[in-house]
Each structure stands twice: as C-alpha cells, then as structure tokens.
Copies of this chain bind each other. A is one copy, B any other.
Amino acid sequence: MERRDEILHIAGQLFSQRGYHATSMRELARHLNLQGGSLYAHIASKEELLIEVVRQAAARFLGVLEGLEGDPVAKIRALVRGHLRVIAEELPRATVFFHEWKHLSPPFLKEARALRRRYEEGVQGVVQEGVDKGVFRTESARLATLFLLSALNWTYQWYRPEGPLSLEEISEQYARLVLRALGVWEGGEDGEA
C-alpha cells in the first residue's frame, strides 16, 4: 500500500509536467525502477492513477473550505491564503486537478466535475454571504465568484516556490486585490506600500 502511494506521487508529477496522454506507463515505471507491466500489481489502470490524483488534490482544496470562519472578509482572506498554500505545497497535484482531469472518461469525469463544482460552490457561498450581509458590493455574485476563482485557479500556472515573491507576500496582496474587487476598501490603507 505504501508502494501504491509512491506510484501515485510520481504519476502526479509526470501528469502535471507532460500531461496525462504524453506520460506512458513505461516512463512512469522507469521512475520507480520497475518494469512497465509491474505497475499493474498495484493499480488497475492508468486512468485510476489520474482519478486518484484528482481526488487527493480535491481533498486538499475542499479542506480549505472547511477551515473558514469569521466574517466574510476573514473567510475570503483565509480562502485566498489556503488556496495558494495548497498550490504551493501540492503544485503537481493541483495542476492535475485544474487540467488533466479533462482526460478522464465518463464515470470518472463525472466525479471530477462534481469535486470541482463542490469547491466552486463553496467559494460562491462565501461571496454570496458577503453580498447578503452588505459587506461585498457587486452586481452579480455569480460573476464575482467566477472572477475570484479565475484569479485563484490560474496561479498554479505562474507560482513557483523558488520565485521572487514569497507565498506570504503573494497571499497578502492577492487577498487585498480580491477584497478590493469585491468592494471592500481596507480602513487606513491608502494603496501605497
């Protein structure tokens, strides 16, 4: 069972780097010092690897939603931080979650879509709560949610642990940008550093 986790780990890395279809089972096996066919002593199929990686990533993102508390502003702040932290800690899996899931076939595809929708609905819930309480000002909660999700989801494309900006800095400023977009002007903050 431990070996299976190793396989999943490497599979996540390869799928995220080269893409699902461009990763062959033999290549995966080579990274584990195995023969191609030996993988099937631990897993049923290539697609199983993909859905498992998607599930692992989904669990991390959904975990962020569960930890939210406080007023809508605090929730958005924690959401931005949490989302970026998952991406920082799980870049390969997050990448698969955001992209490679599309290559799943119907039964698993449906599951992946459901997991992603749950996350999106969680985010929308926070936005809606802020709108209902009069804290966020936006014409359409739906569009503001899509905007927020877009800003968050794309970060896996450019965030690199070794980059010039620390996760702390990025989180801090991203949260500010998002809150401003939602119509929340921070007290005592005039926009200059």
| Residue ranges of A at the interface with B (Cβ–Cβ < 8 Å) | 18-22, 99, 102-103, 137-140, 142-144, 146-147, 149-155, 157-158, 165, 169-170, 173-174, 176-178, 180-183, 185, 190-193
Contacts and interface: CB of A to CB of B under 8 A. Distances in A.
Nearest to A100: B19
Given A19-B21, A139-B176, 6 more contacts: A99-B99, A139-B191, A143-B174, A150-B150, A150-B157, A150-B158
Given A19-B103, A150-B154, A181-B180, A173 B140 contact: yes
Instruction: State how many copies of this chain the complex holds.
Output: 2
Contacts of A176: 139
A112 to B, nearest CB: 14
A121 to B, nearest CB: 14
Contacts of A142: 165
Q: Is the interface of A mostly helix, strand, loop or mixed?
A: helix
Nearest to A165: B143
A170 to B, nearest CB: 7
Contact of A157 (B153, B173, B191): B153
A72 to B, nearest CB: 14
A178 B182 CA distance: 10
Given A139-B173, A173-B139, A19 B102 contact: yes
Nearest to A191: B137
Nearest to A143: B173
A6 to B, nearest CB: 25
B146 A192 contact: no
29 contacts: A18-B103, A19-B19, A19-B20, A19-B21, A137-B191, A138-B173, A138-B177, A138-B191, A139-B176, A140-B169, A143-B169, A143-B170, A143-B174, A143-B177, A146-B155, A149-B154, A150-B151, A150-B152, A150-B153, A150-B157, A151-B151, A153-B154, A153-B157, A177-B181, A180-B181, A180-B182, A180-B183, A181-B181, A185-B185
